Amino acid sequence: MSTVYMPPSIRHFEPLHMVFSTWVDHLPFGYDLVAALRPKMLVELGTHKGLSYFTFCQSMKENEIDGLCYAIDTFEGDEHTDKYDESVFNAVNNHNRQHYHGFSYLMRMYFQDALRHFNEESIDLLHIDGFHTYEAVSEDFANWYPKIKPGGIILFHDVQARLQDFGAWKFWDEIRGQHETFTFNHGFGLGVLRKPGGDRSNDPELLKLLFEEQTEDSCARIRAFYVHASKHLENTRKVKRLQKDKASNGAS
């Protein structure tokens, strides 16, 4: 990296929707990727309590991006998240209505059933974060790849999670060499894949850093940057919480 990389997550990003999720380490990257890509159509497979999805939506709104977002989930859970109750969907639905009304839509259904609602080559950014067995991730990728625009991006969460019968790591290991990809290793791993084609003449800086300027050193720097960015965000939130507690203790 020859220039100073100062993305929007560093300048102004305070997550509006904090819930427990292993996605927490990727919030700055998710926010910056949306700001850089300016997607007309964003789709998430697997939303649960909405940590990743609402980070994307927040970036759409704060960076004044004119696009549509869809969160697809049964909102019932699976064998890895365990089954959960209606309170999860209700909280996600309320937050969505309150903050992202008019451009963000929840599709409460199986991924398979949602396919027919999307045209071929219509999606700019897809996040695959559903059931994490090798078979499920392979199927999600095979089903949804044709829906991605040339030059569009697919994110895969948990490509470094080697627990239970998780198999995203195995699938990622198989396909990463056959595509243009970048791998974050922290936060259970986040794979970034770019579909061939599209107009790349005006690629944003983040995409250049991820895909065009790949040397061992540049990859290590961008990985380190986003590890630090997520730690910075976590520490900032801790400090703000402490200040708030102190202020409310002082007031009582």
Ligand X SMILES: C[S@@+](CC[C@H](N)C(=O)[O-])C[C@H]1O[C@@H](n2cnc3c(N)ncnc32)[C@H](O)[C@@H]1O
* Residue 248 DSSP SS3: helix
**Touching ligand X, residues 20-59 (CB under 6 A):** 21, 23, 46-49, 51-52
- Rounded CA-CA distance 195/155 in Å is 11
* Residue of the chain from 70, 89, 111, 182 that contacts ligand X (CB under 6 A): 111
- x/- mask, ligand X, residues 161-200, rule CB under 6 A, reads ----------------------------------------
Shortest Å distance, C-beta 205 to ligand X: 25
- Rounded CA-CA distance 140/143 in Å is 5
- Rounded CA-CA distance 191/171 in Å is 11
130 interacts with ligand X by CB under 6 A? yes
- x/- mask, ligand X, residues 207-226, rule CB under 6 A, reads --------------------
* Residue of the chain from 8, 61, 63, 81 that contacts ligand X (CB under 6 A): 81
139 interacts with ligand X by CB under 6 A? no
**Of 91, 106, 133, nearest in space to 44 by CA:** 106
76 interacts with ligand X by CB under 6 A? yes
**What DSSP assignment string belongs to 33-77?**
HHHHH--SEEEEE--TT-HHHHHHHHHHHHTT---EEEEEE-SS-
| AA letter at 237 | R
Nearer to ligand X (CB atom), residue 21 or residue 58: 21
138 interacts with ligand X by CB under 6 A? no
- Rounded CA-CA distance 125/52 in Å is 13
Shortest Å distance, C-beta 74 to ligand X: 4
- Rounded CA-CA distance 114/116 in Å is 6
Nearer to ligand X (CB atom), residue 21 or residue 181: 21
- Where do contacts with ligand X occur on this chain (CB under 6 A)? 21, 23, 46-49, 51-52, 73-74, 76-78, 81, 110-111, 129-131
